[in-house]
């Protein structure tokens, strides 16, 4: 990837584009991030940088965490994330990464932890349907139902749907448009929704999708044999009329 930054989800709102259409957007407080550690091909076997986001007080750090920052004389940070950037070899410890690393029109992927929904049943968690309410079901029409035979397999297969903790999972939304960037407010505005609650930490990076520019409508063929009879009176189909 070429660009990346750590941010905090502020919330959703809407703006109007140049044509007057409403665009739902998410506001992200991106950076400023500091390069806490630099990894090189010679020492670690690959090039990467570790970014730190949001200041942290010393008493909330463990001794290994404190030593990690003190070794490079970096102010204490609350969130750390490693990115394998193409320009990692050119960056140094202490460099600052701000919101203007991205620009309006960029395509990005946003990764975050989804909202928690507590302990939920199979209908809400997996979209299962209710059981029949005629004969033999009883008062438990929202239960999971049969989980498999007890003779051959004699166990519940891995991956079988069931009730459980819903949400609080890492989710990545790909190919979002950057609508606006404000480096003074450390703000990046993206079109659409991103995972996580308000105040949740998110990671922004270049999209892995391969975006191809749309070409215009197909024009008239330059080959007279392929041109339609409507524009080529010499074509056999036109002469026969």
Q: Is residue 122 part of a domain?
A: yes
Q: Is residue 24 part of a domain?
A: no
pLDDT digits (tens, 9 = 90+) for 117-154: 999 999 999 998 888 888 877 788 888 877 877 788 78
pLDDT under 50: residue ranges of the chain: none
Number of domains forming the structure of the chain: 1
**Pairwise CA distance, residues 166 & 119, whole Å:** 6
| Residues 224 and 237 sit within 8 Å (Cβ to Cβ) | no
User: What pLDDT does residue 90 have?
Assistant: 85
Phi first, then psi: give them for residue 82, nearest 5 degrees: -95, 135
User: What pLDDT does residue 17 have?
Assistant: 85
Q: Is residue 5 part of a domain?
A: no
Q: What is the pTM of this model?
A: 0.78
Q: Is residue 99 part of a domain?
A: no
User: What pLDDT does residue 181 have?
Assistant: 92
Task: Give the structural domain span for 121.
Answer: 117-166
**Pairwise CA distance, residues 215 & 99, whole Å:** 31
Q: Is residue 155 part of a domain?
A: yes
Q: Is residue 226 part of a domain?
A: no
Q: Is residue 241 part of a domain?
A: no
User: What pLDDT does residue 146 have?
Assistant: 78
Dump the DSSP string for 90-155. Answer: G--TT-EE-GGGS-TT-EEEEEEEPPP-EEE-HHHHH-PPPPPSSSS-TT-TTS------TTTT-S
């Amino acid at each position: 990837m070429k660009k990346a930054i750590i941010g905090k989800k502020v919330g959703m709102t809407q703006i109007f584009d140049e044509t007057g259409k409403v665009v739902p957007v998410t506001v992200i407080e991106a950076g400023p991030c500091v390069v806490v550690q630099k990894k090189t091909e010679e020492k670690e076997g690959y090039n990467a940088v570790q970014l730190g986001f949001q200041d942290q007080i010393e008493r909330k750090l463990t001794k290994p965490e404190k030593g990690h920052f003190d070794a490079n004389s970096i102010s204490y940070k609350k969130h750390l994330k490693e990115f394998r950037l193409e320009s990692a070899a050119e960056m140094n410890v202490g460099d600052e990464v701000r919101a203007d690393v991205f620009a309006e029109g960029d395509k990005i992927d946003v990764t975050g932890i989804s909202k928690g929904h507590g302990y939920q049943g199979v209908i809400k968690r997996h979209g299962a349907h209710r059981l029949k309410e005629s004969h033999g079901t009883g008062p438990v029409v929202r239960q999971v139902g049969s989980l498999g035979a007890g003779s051959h397999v004699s166990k519940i297969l891995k991956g079988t749907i069931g009730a459980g903790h819903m949400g609080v999972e890492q989710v990545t939304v790909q190919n979002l448009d950057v609508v606006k960037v404000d480096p003074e407010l450390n703000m990046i505005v993206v079109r659409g929704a991103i995972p996580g609650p308000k105040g949740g930490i998110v990671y922004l990076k270049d999209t892995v999708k391969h975006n191809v520019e749309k070409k215009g409508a197909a024009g008239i063929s330059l080959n007279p044999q392929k041109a339609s009879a409507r524009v080529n009176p010499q074509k056999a189909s036109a002469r026969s009329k």
